[in-house]
Amino acid sequence: MYKIGEALIGDGPELAHVDLLIGDKQGPVGQAFANGLSNLSVGHTPLTSVIRPNLMTKPATLIIPKVTVGDLEDASKIFGPAQTAVARAVADAVEAGYIPKDIVEDIVINVSVFIDPSAKDFRKIYQYNYGATKLAIRRAMKDYPSIDKVLAEKDRGTHPIMGFKVKKLWSPPYLQVALDLDNLDAMERIIDQLPENERVLIEAGTPLVKKFGVGVISKIRELRPDAFIIADLKTLDVGRVEVKMSADETADAIAISGLGTMESIMKAIHETQKQGIYSILDMMNVDEIDKKLKALPEDLKPDIVLLHRNVDYETWIKEHGGDAGGMTAWGDIEKIKEITGGLVAVAGGVTPDKVETAIGKGADVIIAGRYIIGSRDVRRAAQDFLAHFEPDPDNMRLAMDEDENIPDKKGDKKSSKK
């Protein structure tokens, strides 16, 4: 047997975070158990888990402090509420049936515990570590989480200690606000007025980047730490350099010009993969879009294809009585998705009344610029678009309620791929 479990419970200095291994005495977990008891280190001395003095729990359990035990006060938190909490959790896990009684003499458990030196409340230390240990055992024995759970949550979860959220485009459609500006004060004013909405993406427009450099991305990040930020560099050459520059400034995506050579496009996309950010291939003024996309290797397709009608062309259409927000200029969106397997963004004269049509044709990202940034009421202008979107992907979600399956009345487990 070789099982791995983890759990975090509580808050404040008494918060408990437990990592544990469950395995056979004769296997690697058993070897680690023996090494832990015999190879003592200053400040991190492991100890057996006891329910009370002279009553060791079964299966035999080793507690490994994650934080240096600096003095007697720190030691008393380990050799007291934490030690008892872990031991009773193990015993109760056996009683609850998480661990079969017939194997308790054949296995051992190694439990790593986090005890903050500033923690004061022994009751909370006990309660949180008891709950975390018992939950970690249950998870380990049930092989939680499933890979389906991991894949469903990887772009949704936020680590409470990290302090910010990394946004991924896991639930389109989205509204991308293009900051095509040449003024930092105007940029700050607009960002300040944009709604705090999961569906809003912020684009550092080409004029903004050209005037202030890629460092403007970091300025946007300071204003909106959790935002998904696109660097619209329209890269034509030396893509690797420009992608790295943007990634170093914390951009989440970079726009590459589809007018570049195949070699330049492939190098730029490869660098986005290396840096862990999204690649956007901007097809403004590109002929035979399908042909160009098909020519790219399967492992170097862009994450997002941008079907982009330029401003000058859009203005000309308006002057000649055409429909500047028409859909025909974007072509067959679904066909493009079949080629790349990624998302499609549309830009060029999109107004709020065209949003539902664009989404209906398969658009995943609606890019709006002047309608929003030129408005006297930026928030209202953005809401004009958002009114046509589904609500925030997670606004009705309670992540903690989805963590474990609960048996139904027949004893079957409910499906939980989320």
Residues annotated as catalytic are 17
In degrees rounded to 5, what are phi and psi of residue 344? -130, 130
The C-alpha atoms of residue 348 and residue 24 are separated, in whole angstroms, by 63
| Full strand arrangement of the beta sheet holding 2-9 | 2-9, 16-24, 107-113, 60-65, 47-48
Q: How far apart are the first and last CA of the chain?
A: 28
The C-alpha atoms of residue 347 and residue 217 are separated, in whole angstroms, by 21
**Residue carrying structure tokens 């999961």:** 198
Yes or no: say if 198 and 393 are a contact pair by the CB < 8 Å rule.
yes
Strand partners, 308: 347
Burial class (CB in 10 A: 0-12, 13-18, 19+), 401: exposed
Q: How many CA atoms lie within 13 A of 88 on its CB side?
A: 15
The 10 Å CB-count burial string (b at 16+, else e) for 201-239 is bbbbbbebbeebebebbebbbeeeeebbbbbbbbbbeeb
Tokens of 4: 């791995």
**Residue carrying structure tokens 């890629």:** 214
